[in-house]
Structures are given as C-alpha cells and as structure tokens.
Structure 1
C-alpha cells in the first residue's frame, strides 16, 4: 500500500474550490491500493485531517505523526489551485525533498502560472494569442495609448490568478480604470488583452500511460458576458463535450494543445483555453492544476474519453511514481 498525501487548499481566493477538488480525489482513489491522507495547506497551518482531527505536518520532511506513529508519504497528489500549488512553490519544495508528485516541475508551474511569460515563450512556436499590454503596479497608465493598440471591448485580468477572479470585460473607456483597480486586488501585475470574438474551447492534455494524450475538446457557452466565476462554478454556462466543431478544426486545436504541452516539457494534468477566430485557435492560458470536481471540465473530458475519475487519478499517481 502506497501512502498518498493529497494536498489541497492553498493561499489564494481559489482555496475553497481546491478543497472540493481534493475531496473528490480522496473519495475516488482505490482504497485497496492507496492509503490516502487529506493534507490542508493553508496560510496559517499545514495539517493532515483525518476524521475531523488535525495532525500538524512537519515541514522539515513533509511527514505527520498520528497516534504516535510517524507517517511518511510515497507520493503527493497535488490538488491546489493557485499559489503555492500551481505556481511552482510546492513543486520546488518537493523536489528538494526528492518526493514524487503528480504535477509538472517547478519551472513549468511558475511559467504557466504567469500568463504573460507563458504566451511569450509559446509565441515563437507559432501559437497565436490575443494582442496584449502588460502593467505592473505603479506603472503609469496611458489609457488612450493602450486602447489604440488593444481596442474596445477588451479584457483586464490579473497576470497570476485563476478561476476568473479579478477579470473584467471592459466595453467603454469609463470602465477601464475601475477594472484595473479590480485586477490589482488579486495581483501586482495585470494583462490587458484585445477581445477575441469567437468560440471558446478548453482542451485537457495529460500524460496517460506514458503517452501525451489530448482529451476530447469542450466548447464553452457562457450565459454571462464571458466565462467568469459564476459561469465556471455556479452553473451559468454550458460546457459541451465534445465541442461542436469540424474535424479539421478539432485536429488543428489538438495539434496546438499537444505542441504547447510538449514544448514546455509538461507532466501530469494540463487544461488550456483557446478562442477560435477565423478557424485559428488563439491561446489564452494553461492551467496545470485544473479543477478536479465532478463538474470540472477535465474530468468531463476524461469521462468522454472513457476514463473514470478513479482511473484518471490512479494514472496520475503511477506516472509520478515512475518519474
């Protein structure tokens, strides 16, 4: 029996969603193969939670002591969305401890978490993106100059955050500066992107049984102005898997998604978002710890591909142990 630490929670606005993802992983792991331990990584404490009792985690070696017995973990299942699980901090910590984990390496995590840096690395490989402008907190904001390049409507978003926290769709010049304030509440770097008018799709790419596997593509139809928090988590969107697109376009998107995964030397889970404009996929971002709840997109895609949650999670653990 392998001891599996399922890390969940985190330090960002996404911690509640992460606790749900971690709970789904815990409930779906094969209890005959794995001894699973839910680990809550929170700003104020790192604890293993068993039967509502909290056991502190020793950060020196990532162990816990339960009823006088010191528990060592064979592998970590990473279900933390946002910092410190998706931005490379936990990955670097586990690398120092030489502990296998289910997510990508720390550099890939840090790079993909930073939308600006990710897109600039992928651009030379012919991967299309929106026109964008970047601001750091304290930079002078010349609204007219920015809008001359980006145009209206546009999106203003935190550079490093997930679950659509802090994102605004700006339609008028009056909405521009207030939207910047909202984005700065989540991050000290922001990204202003031109509005891409087209179909939004989400593509899961994973390592499955040693091979890079592109999962069935999901089409996002948001009831709201864009795929925001409410659309993602409160049912205000339709997620159609497989997407209603031509075989030619499907092949094009799969090729781009797989190329991005392999160029970045990714491991584990990934879910990339694209907008299709004039039959060309434009990449918005890549998530390396995507939602793993029953409603989440990547599990829906796996299900469409004939992969159950138990198989999906077991594969992630076995791939991590292989590495």
Structure 2
C-alpha cells in the first residue's frame, strides 16, 4: 500500500483555488486507488502555515472543501495540527510513499516544500526545488527563456524600496504595460496600465503580494496555453487550448476560476502551423527551465509571432482547469492524468 500525502491550502492568495484542486484530486485518486494500492493522507496547510493532518478515512470532496474548519473544530474532524518542523517528521514516521503537492503560488510552487521533501527523501509530484523556484520567479525565468532564444515580452523589475522612481519603468517598457508580482499566480495582483496615472495603484496592488514586481510590455493577441506531461520517460504535449475571456477583460482571477465566464476551445481553431509552433515553444520552455512531471505554458500570439507569458509548474486542477482539458483532448482521463503524475514522482538527492 502506497501512502499518498495530498498537500494543499498554503499561505498564498491562491489558497481557495488549492482547496478546490485538492477536492477534485482526492475524488479522482479514489478511482485509481484499488488498482494502484493507494491510501490517502490529506495534509492541509492553513493560512498561518500550520500543517493539519487528516487522520480519518478517505475524505470526500465536500470534506476537503471544509478544510479551513478542520483545526478550528477538532471535535468534528479527525485531524492533528502540527508546526512544520514536526510535520515533516510525521510524514517520515507515517512512511509517506509520495507527496502530491497541490499548493499554487508562494509556498507551493516556489521550491520550498520541494526542498524540504528532498531532505526527507520523500518523492513528490512535479518539478524539483530549483526549477520550481525559477519558474515562479518571473523576472529570472524570463531571463532564462531569453537566453534560450525563446520569445518573451520586453520587461523591467522594481523592488518596493524603489517605488518613488517607478516612472522609469514606463521609459523602459512603455505603455500600455502589465504590472505583476514577481512571484505569484492566478493573476492575483496583476493590473494592465494604459495611462500614467494608473501606475501607482497598480504598483501598490502588486507590492501587496510581493516585494518585487515586474513590468511587462502589453502584448496583444489571442491567448493560448499548452500542457506538458511526462509519461514513460517521454514528454506528452497537449493540443493547444485557446482562452477567450469576456470582451474587454483579460484572463484574470474570476475569468480563470468562475465557470462560464471565459471560453476555452480545445483544440484551438488555428492553423496547423501555428499550433505546432505553440506546442514546440511550450516544450522548449519546459526543458529550458528544467521542469519535470507536468506543467502548463501560457502564451499569446498576434498575427506576427507568439510570445511566452509564463510557466505554471502546479497548474490548477479544478472543474475549469486547463491542463486536464488538454489531457482529455488526448483521451487521457483526469484519474489517468494523476496516475502519470504519481509515476513521475521523485526527490533530488542534491
């Protein structure tokens, strides 16, 4: 019997998305548990950073959704809450066979949990510690992609102690531009700035998330995403998905996670040559950054050329999520997809 730790929640603004992902994942893992000999140990990291271990039977999706109440009502939920330094030891004592990380953004995609699991020699799903940290750090990831000859938007960085000189960003990047936290996801803290007077509020929104931000030249065009999945030593590249947000909006938090707000078309209705170019760029970005297991690469394409926007090493796994849609277009069910994640799980010895 392989004990699977499903780690979710976390301290980032994407906390709720992580809970939704974990609920879907728990239900899908239940489907493949008998054939694979799996048992589930959900571990919820609350907003204060405490690790809350579920100690009962396999919880339902609804019970996972109530995770914020677990440690507040221990009389109703079979849980054990531990600080991190004890939680890692608990995982070792429980002989966790693999950790499935479903925390998005800071604290999940930034390499810290991955590094801790490396030290504990617990295999985990997805990208390793160093590449996770790189992929989430947008300015440095852009530098690596640029060095690899991949197309990115013109950008510049700013730290919170330099906010008074922020107008220099406009000189470097130009308007319109996109202001975003250097480390984060789900479009939290992201603002499109079209006029100079919009700059200061946009900076404040980004600095509320991170102490460093990136200003990126606004690239217009159609939005696309491509999933990457490791399987049997090879790399599966999903069909291209086109993302069509509501008219006049970009693909923001609500557009990403509210059912029916945006349209996604898989496979995208685009010329075969463009589709192949997007899939090739996604695979090249995955390899350049050093990703493994699975990821999703977001791009935008005008009539002239595509541009890589970002790499998501732990993309969402909710009802509206894009990677499962791409996998389904290849005939891969959600539970099969999670099986591939488990098969590629490993830790780094250093």
The two structures have a TM-score, normalised by structure 2, of 0.87
Secondary structure (helix, strand or coil) at the match of 1:156 reads: strand
1-structure distance, mates of 2:337, 2:264: 20
Q: Which residue is equivalent to 2:154?
A: 131
Q: CA 1:44–1:102 in 2, change beyond 3 Å: closer, same or farther?
A: closer
Aligned with residue 51 of structure 2, among 40, 46, 49: 46
Question: Cα distance, 1:229 vs. partner?
Answer: 0.7
SS for the counterpart of 1:135 is strand
2:321 aligned to which of 296, 305, 311: 296
Distance (Å, rounded) in 1 between the aligned partners of 2:25 and 2:163? 45
CA separation of 1:246 and 1:61: change in aligned 2, threshold 3 A: same
Query: Secondary structure of 2:161's match?
Result: coil
Aligned to 2:24: 24
More moved, 264-273 vs 90-99 = 264-273
Which structure 1 residue ranges, 5 or more long, are not aligned? 65-69
The number of aligned residues is 318
User: Hey, what's the Cα distance between the residues in 2 that align with 1:91 and 1:321?
Assistant: 10
- 2:286 alignment counterpart: 261
Q: Distance in 2 between matches of 1:151 and 1:85?
A: 33
Aligned to 1:208: 231
User: CA–CA distance in 1 between the matches of 2:140 and 2:5?
Assistant: 30
Q: Is the 8 A contact 2:106 2:183 kept in 1?
A: no
User: SS of the residue aligned with 2:108?
Assistant: coil
Q: Secondary structure at the match of 1:84?
A: coil
Partner of residue 102, structure 1:
125
- Shift of the alpha carbon at 1:237? 1.2
CA offsets per residue over residues 104-137 of structure 1, 9 Å max, x none?
1100000001000001011121111111111011
Q: 2:317 matched to 1:315?
A: no
What is the SS of the residue equivalent to 2:342?
helix
Q: How is 1:110-125 mapped onto 2 (pairs within 5 angstroms)?
A: 110-125=133-148
Give the 4+ runs in structure 1 shifted more than 4 A. Answer: none
> Counterpart of 2:96?
73
Secondary structure in structure 2 of the residue aligned to 1:320: coil
CA distance, structure 2, for counterparts of residue 309 and residue 175 of structure 1: 42
Paired with 1:111 and 1:309, the residues of 2 have a C-alpha distance of 27
Other-structure match for 1:272: 297
Greater mean alpha carbon deviation, residues 274-283 or residues 42-51: 42-51
The more displaced of 130-139 and 204-213 is 204-213
Q: Secondary structure at the match of 1:134?
A: strand
**What is the RMSD of the two structures over their aligned residues, measured on CA atoms?**
1.8
The verdict on how the C-alpha distance between 1:247 and 1:45 changes in structure 2, with shifts beyond 3 A counting, is same
Compute the displacement of 1:55 (Å).
2.2
The secondary structure found in structure 2 opposite 1:31 is: helix
Between the aligned partners of 2:45 and 2:145, the Cα distance in structure 1 is 31
| 1:294–1:300 CA contact under 8 A, matched in 2 | no
Structure in which a larger fraction of residues adopt strand: 1
Question: Secondary structure at 1:157's aligned position in 2?
Answer: strand
Aligned to 1:37: 41
TM, length-normalised to structure 1: 0.93
Q: Quick one: distance in 1 between partners of 2:317 and 2:233? A: 21
State which of 112, 115, 123 in structure 2 corresponds to 1:92: 115
Query: In the TM superposition, what are the counterparts of 1:220-259 in structure 2 within 5 Å?
Result: 220-223=243-246, 224-235=248-259, 236-259=261-284
Shift of 1:284: 1.0
**Equivalent residue in structure 2 for 1:196, among 219, 222, 240:** 219
Q: Structure 2: which 5+ runs fail to align? A: 60-76
SS of the residue 2:96 aligns to: coil
2:87 maps to which of 47, 51, 59? 59
